[in-house]
Amino acid sequence: MAFNDSNQNHLCNIGGALTVDGHVDELICENWSKNILSRKNVWTDSFGRNSFTFGNAWYVLLEKGLLHKYHAESQLKNQLIEELHGYLDAMLAAKDYLAPPEDFRDIDVPLISRSEKLGPFWCWSGVHLSKSNRGGSAHADFEGLSPYPERIFSPDTRAFSALLSIQKPAWGGGLKVWEGRMQGDHTDEMWKQHLCSTNTTIYNYPTGTLTIIDSFLVHQILPAFTWGNRFRMVGVMHFLFHETPHPHWEYWF
């Protein structure tokens, strides 16, 4: 259980993080890994050094200057994800662990894809694949909030990142998460101080475990070592709570 499993109902609240052990059976993960490995021809190159995505990630193509590619290929990539039987449902089931604001706890807040809301240009989910590396940079997941920039600066924003470990590398490759939310308007000095904090939790990502974090928590992929056909594979879906025009969770990748 995480440092900030925010209440006894096992719901991830603002500033929280939690893990759901055995969210997906290991055998199912193994089948997904095999399927993904057999389809190398459709992988998207991420940032070189043996890192790829099965599907397209908004922030990756944004950072690579390839947004047109993300939007042009979204329907194709959603189809790809649908063909990974059971995967999308497993990611969408993360909703059961997301805490809406108190006033909405007694209703079943629906899920709506960004592609349904903003047009068929957005991806639903995808899987990050990487080989041995020195780890990632410490960051919070603000990019996906760009259609609603004011939400990047609000302490009330309920945005969560759901991370499903599908295949572990031979060694390492977990996630380090810093306690305490950061916002897009926090100064460089505040970021520097935050990163010096030792209030961190390491998530080791056993296969089939779902980890959910408030997207405003700074996190960092840890160094990994692996070989052969064994990749670090992590499924990702992002969620944002909206109160208007009716309460719903929007999701995208």
**How far apart are CB 104 and ligand AKG at their closest, in Å?**
26
Closest CB to ligand AKG among residues 109, 131: 131
| 3-state secondary structure (DSSP) of residue 138 | coil
Closest CB to ligand AKG among residues 92, 159: 159
**How far apart are CB 59 and ligand AKG at their closest, in Å?**
7
Task: At 173, list the tokens.
Answer: 């490759």
Spell out where the chain has E strands.
Answer: 17-20, 44-48, 51-54, 111-113, 126-130, 159-167, 171-172, 175-181, 200-203, 210-214, 217-221, 224-225, 232-242, 248-252
- Give start and end residues of each alpha helix (H) in the chain: 26-37, 58-63, 67-82, 87-92, 114-118, 188-196
Closest CB to ligand AKG among residues 241, 252: 252
What residue number has its CB nearest to ligand AKG?
Answer: 234
Residues that bind ligand AKG (CB under 6 A): 128, 141, 163, 175, 219, 221, 234, 236
Closest CB to ligand AKG among residues 219, 248: 219
Alpha-carbon distance of 66 to 120, in angstroms, equals: 17
**How far apart are CB 141 and ligand AKG at their closest, in Å?**
5
**How far apart are CB 68 and ligand AKG at their closest, in Å?**
21
